[in-house]
């Protein structure tokens, strides 16, 4: 399988050779060109694209044999028309397609009969939202031409905004709405998309060129303020791209003013199965920051098999799986056919053969290599009435003493801000108050470089530790760390808030 991402002046590709065991041998290649490949999301010149793809394929072929010619194309949002709307409660799913076609005509003012389209229905907070994607047939034809020249077959088209969304979808919670900004930092350029818990929120593909003396923190801070002025306050900033690898999350979060979550931490934590699959038998480290859109495109095509932007018609509702991908081993059914007639013949033959051998042995004709048991030693069952064995009198099992319930309002809690985000301790305090804690003090930690939240309890505070870990689990990206608290401390429990606390 070949995955190709095209941007304004850049091409990236990932080729996968599947093994018999289900893993993939993966190879990557990227190149920035001095000419434009795309103009407003459409091919600027099919010959230039053909040349770029040809060189990319040759480079990948040199790294490993290309057994398959199927190609998935990942394109920026500019290549597509997009809208989203609430799922109408009075529209039956059987007529939903016709309903959306009419909506597309009125909202997009486009010739839908000569377009490819599909949609995703996503649910959050008990509400359903439809995300509708459309691309004109002429645009797809223009991309297919250079692929055909190289004997490559276009089998799927994925919007980059959906590929990126797949990379953090598992971090979302069904009962909480978030505004999320996915930003890529590469080739001295910032680019990003705005999402909420349902998916793409704003179809604008934001980009900003980084000057020699520019600081990306200031640029992102300014754009985040712009979003907030429009009523879209950001809850998280997801940072990806090759140049993001050297950025420190703690100081970056403080300077931008938005809690920043590096994609390099999300993907290994939530998508380890896919990384293991693509790492191949060598278990090599994948360049996930540079090729994040290709990894997201791969996950999307594996999970959303019904979604299509080809063949002139949609392929069915691709409903997003809130629980993420599930992996299962293939079921192997082993059965042995039973022939009753043959079984009876086999048993009779065995008895007859045994009888013949036994008779010959008695006559001394042959010597058997074993001694038959004496029938006198075989005890026949007694037909006398057995003496009943007295049943034991059941004893009543002791009732376990329930563990005393911990009263949250009686626990003394101290919250220390170690995230570097101003006011974070107050946010955590409010969250704990809603959970039932009352005695809460806040202060700053000794350092602001805590990436993982820490819970400190005294030696006999195991139950308290488990309770607090359970109460704050919904606000953390991963697991907390535990430490022992000094017995002389006035607080029963101390929480050092890390950057993993939402």
Model pLDDT for residues 298-311, shown as the tens digit of each residue: 999 988 888 888 86
Contact 39, 51 (CB under 8 A): no
The pLDDT-based confidence of 60 (bands split at 50, 70, 90) is confident
β-strands 179-186, 189-196 pairing = antiparallel
How would you write 197-218 as a 3-class SS string? Answer: CCEEEEEEEEEEECCCCCCHHH
pLDDT of amino acid 343: 58
Within-domain flag for 73: yes
Look at the pTM and tell me if it is higher than 0.85. Answer: no
- Whether residue 448 is contained in a domain is answered as yes
Pairwise pLDDT comparison (91 vs 378), residue with the higher score: 91
- What pLDDT shows up at residue 365? 47
Q: Among the three residues 303, 327, 359, which one is the final residue of a domain in this structure?
A: 303
Note the pLDDT tens digit of each residue in 71-113: 999 999 999 999 999 988 777 777 888 889 899 999 998 888 8
Contact status, residue 23 vs residue 33, Cβ threshold 8 Å: no
pLDDT for residue 78: 92
What's the rounded Cα separation, in Å, for the pair 450 and 432?
20
For residues 295 and 429, state if they share a domain. no
User: CA 467 to CA 464: how far, in whole Å?
Assistant: 5
Domain around 438: 408-497
pLDDT in tens, 139-187: 998 888 888 888 888 989 999 999 999 999 888 877 778 899 999 998 8
pLDDT at 388: 53
Pick from 247, 282, 303: which residue ends a domain?
A: 303
Specify the pLDDT at position 393.
52
Instruction: Say if residue 188 is in the same domain as residue 65.
Output: yes
Q: Does residue 379 fall inside a structural domain?
A: no
- Residue 308: inside a domain, yes or no? no
The per-residue pLDDT for 199 is 92
| Residue 296 or residue 385, greater confidence | 296
Number of domains composing the chain:
2
Instruction: Taking each helix axis as running N to C, give the angle between helix 160-168 and helix 292-303, from 0 to 180 degrees, rounded to the nearest 10.
Output: 80
Q: What pLDDT score does 120 carry?
A: 92
Q: Does residue 85 lie in a domain region?
A: yes
Q: Does residue 385 belong to any structural domain of this protein?
A: no
Q: Do residues 429 and 295 both lie within one domain?
A: no
The confidence score (pLDDT) of residue 294 equals 93
| Residues 85/170, Cβ–Cβ less than 8 Å | no
Distance CA 203, CA 83 (A): 8
CB neighbour list of residue 79: distance below 8 Å, 6 or more residues apart: 38, 41, 42, 135, 139, 159
In a domain, 383, yes or no: no
Which pLDDT band holds residue 21 (cuts at 50, 70, 90)? low
Asked if the structure places residue 399 within a domain, the reply is no
Convert the pLDDT of each residue in 433-448 to its tens digit. Answer: 988 998 898 988 887 8
The CATH code of the domain that includes 180 is 3.30.420.380
Question: Which of 271, 303, 335 is the last residue before a domain boundary?
Answer: 303
Mean pLDDT of the chain: 80
CATH number (domain holding residue 427): 3.30.70.2390
């Amino acid at each position: 399988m070949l995955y190709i991402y095209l941007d304004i002046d850049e091409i990236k590709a990932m080729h996968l050779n599947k093994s018999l065991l289900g893993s993939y041998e993966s190879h990557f290649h990227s190149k920035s060109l001095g000419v434009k490949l795309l103009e407003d999301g459409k091919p600027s010149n099919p010959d230039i694209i053909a040349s770029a793809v040809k060189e990319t394929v040759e480079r990948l072929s040199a790294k490993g044999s290309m057994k398959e010619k199927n190609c998935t194309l990942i394109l920026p949002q500019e290549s597509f028309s997009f809208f989203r709307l609430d799922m109408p409660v009075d529209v039956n799913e059987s007529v939903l397609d016709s309903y959306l076609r009419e909506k597309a005509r009125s909202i997009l003012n486009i010739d839908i009969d000569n377009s490819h389209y599909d949609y995703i229905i996503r649910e959050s907070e008990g509400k359903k939202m439809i995300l509708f994607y459309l691309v004109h047939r002429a645009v797809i034809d223009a991309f297919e031409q250079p692929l055909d020249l190289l004997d490559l077959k276009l089998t799927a088209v994925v919007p980059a905004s959906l590929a990126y969304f797949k990379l953090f979808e598992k971090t979302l919670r069904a009962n909480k709405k978030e505004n999320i900004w996915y930003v890529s930092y590469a080739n001295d350029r910032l680019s990003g998309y705005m999402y909420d818990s349902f998916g793409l929120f704003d179809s604008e593909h934001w980009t900003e060129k980084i000057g020699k003396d520019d600081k990306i923190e200031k640029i992102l801070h300014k754009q985040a303020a712009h979003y907030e002025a429009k009523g879209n306050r950001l809850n998280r900033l997801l940072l990806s791209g090759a140049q993001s690898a050297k950025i420190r999350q703690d100081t970056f979060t403080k300077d931008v003013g938005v809690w920043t979550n590096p994609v390099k931490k999300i993907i290994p934590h939530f998508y380890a199965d896919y990384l293991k699959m693509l790492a191949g038998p060598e278990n090599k480290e994948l360049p996930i920051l540079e090729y994040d859109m290709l990894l997201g495109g791969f996950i999307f095509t594996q999970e959303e098999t019904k979604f299509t932007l080809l063949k002139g018609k949609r392929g069915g509702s691709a409903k997003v799986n809130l629980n993420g991908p599930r992996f299962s081993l293939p079921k192997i059914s082993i059965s042995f056919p039973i022939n009753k007639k043959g079984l009876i013949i086999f048993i009779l033959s065995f008895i007859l053969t045994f009888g013949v051998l036994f008779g010959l042995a008695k006559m001394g004709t042959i010597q058997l290599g074993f001694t038959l048991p004496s029938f006198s030693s075989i005890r026949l069952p007694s037909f006398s009435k057995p003496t009943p064995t007295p049943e034991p009198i059941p004893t009543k099992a002791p009732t376990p003493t329930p563990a005393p319930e911990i009263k949250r309002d009686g626990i003394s809690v101290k919250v220390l801000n170690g995230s570097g985000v101003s006011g974070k301790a107050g946010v955590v305090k409010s969250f704990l108050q809603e959970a039932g804690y009352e005695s809460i003090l806040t202060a700053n930690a000794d350092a602001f470089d805590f990436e993982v939240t820490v819970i400190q309890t005294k030696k006999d505070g195991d139950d308290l530790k488990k309770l607090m870990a359970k109460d704050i689990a919904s606000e953390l990206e991963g697991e907390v760390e535990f430490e022992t608290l000094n017995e002389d401390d006035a607080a029963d429990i101390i929480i050092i808030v890390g950057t993993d606390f939402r």
